[in-house]
Amino acid sequence: MMLRIRSRDGLERIQVDGPQITIFQLKTLIESQLQIPIQNQTLSTDQNLLLAKTPADLLRFSDMTDPSIPLSALNLSHGSIIFLYYHGERTVRGGPTVSPAGSFGRKMTMDDLIAKQTRITRQESPHCDSVSFDRDSANGFQRFVNETLAFASKRGGFMYGTVTDAGRVEVDFIYEPPQQGLEGDLVLLRDPEEEKLVDAIAAGLGRKRVGFIFTQTIMQEKKDYNFSNKEIIQAAELHAESELKEWVTVVVKLEANEDGAADVHFEAFQMSDMCVKLFKDGWFVTEFGENDDPKLSKMKKDVVVGGKDVKEVDNDFFLVVVKIFDHQGPLSTSFPIENRKNLVALRALKSHLDRTKSLPFVKRISDFHLLLFLAKSQGLGSDVPALAECVNTQTAVPEGYQLLIESMANAA
């Protein structure tokens, strides 16, 4: 039976005799196969273990502290992921061979000298404390990719919300730009004018762009990585573009559970500072061949990983885990979402207003997607930010705007 062990060094595999072995026996195998002493190991099925900073933090992860418990009691089976925190240093087994860069007989260039100083190490802590999703917004996104797209093609969106003083990113809505979702690639067909409208509406709502969310397809061979090399490059590009240190990238995937059914999972990360810097400096190879390993990012020049000069880096070195929570935000998400397969028409506006007619008018239009519809298709682009401010402060909408919107709906 194969188990996957994720630590600060990335993802590694170990072979065990079966789910009947105990946690102590598992630790013994980790010691022999990964060269990490038993006394230095802390194991858990909770990925937040990798965020631990102090010995006190480690005490919170107690699911695998009893050495006599068999793996079967934790529902661990072939291919399961176990998270490992360890003290000390080690040499990662099976690392790439040392390249001859800088050896005797070769003249060192300035690029060589810079590469010698470019060391890829794991960033232990994100710049944001956590990310919290508005439940309805997150559910609307995952329901579309699950029930309509069946995770057969990729989908992405920009997350909008706030960053609290404590560094918590709170996502209140997701804008889905025009895009082409393929089996392995996500092509964003970005419209600068539409994005200006989106940002203006968000500003009126007291929100800003705080991250990117995307899905992986069921056809991707993603068992050995969180992000593929193409996904790393796209995430790094958007993170660099944002210039927001708390920027979060979220992946949504479908995974089989122990009962054989499929569950939708949200996982949040930040791209490491080194990843963003390397992208800005043009170090990533952006063209890939069929035989390239998707879990490895290719560099144009040698970098130092684990004391070795390499041109391929495990994608996990560029990811920093972020904790996920949820909340109930102030905005509705019941209006049809933009840029999906079905064109949103005026009858959708009438249906929405009829359904919410018992509410004050400002509550009836407290939906980002409705405001974007008015701005895009009804010639109210310059007026909608003012309506958004009414929504943000929950103050009465000027009568002229209310009559205009209602007349549009009645014309459907």
Q: Which domains does the chain have, with CATH numbers?
A: 2-86 (3.10.20.90), 120-327 (3.40.140.10), 346-411 (no CATH)
Rounded to whole angstroms, the Cα distance separating 24 from 75 reads 16
Picking from 65-69, 106-110, 253-257, 260-264, which range would have the lowest pLDDT averaged per residue? Answer: 106-110
Residue 98's pLDDT is what? Answer: 32
Are 227 and 168 a contacting pair, CB within 8 Å? no
Residue 207's pLDDT is what? Answer: 98
Residue 101's pLDDT is what? Answer: 35
Q: Which pTM was predicted?
A: 0.76
Rounded to whole angstroms, the Cα distance separating 151 from 130 reads 26
Residue 143's pLDDT is what? Answer: 96
Residue 40 has pLDDT above 80, yes or no: yes
Rounded to whole angstroms, the Cα distance separating 71 from 69 reads 7
Average pLDDT over residues 264-278: 96
Residue 97's pLDDT is what? Answer: 33
pLDDT digits (tens, 9 = 90+) for 162-180: 999 999 999 999 999 999 9
Query: Closest by alpha carbon to 146, among 272, 315, 264?
Result: 264
pLDDT digits (tens, 9 = 90+) for 58-81: 999 999 999 999 999 999 988 889
Rounded to whole angstroms, the Cα distance separating 69 from 164 reads 41
Average pLDDT over residues 331-354: 93
Split at pLDDT 50, 70, 90, the class of 103 is: very low
Rounded to whole angstroms, the Cα distance separating 6 from 8 reads 7
pLDDT digits (tens, 9 = 90+) for 128-148: 999 999 999 999 999 999 999
Residue 185's pLDDT is what? Answer: 87
Coil, strand or helix at 227: coil
Picking from 160-164, 277-281, 340-344, 363-367, which range would have the lowest pLDDT averaged per residue? Answer: 340-344
Average pLDDT over residues 364-380: 92
Q: Helix, strand, coil proportions of the chain in percent (round to 5)?
A: 35, 25, 40
* Strands of 244-336, DSSP E: 248-256, 262-271, 296-305, 308-314, 319-322, 324-327
Average pLDDT over residues 309-327: 95
Is residue 358 within a helix (H) or strand (E), and if so which, with residue range?
Answer: none
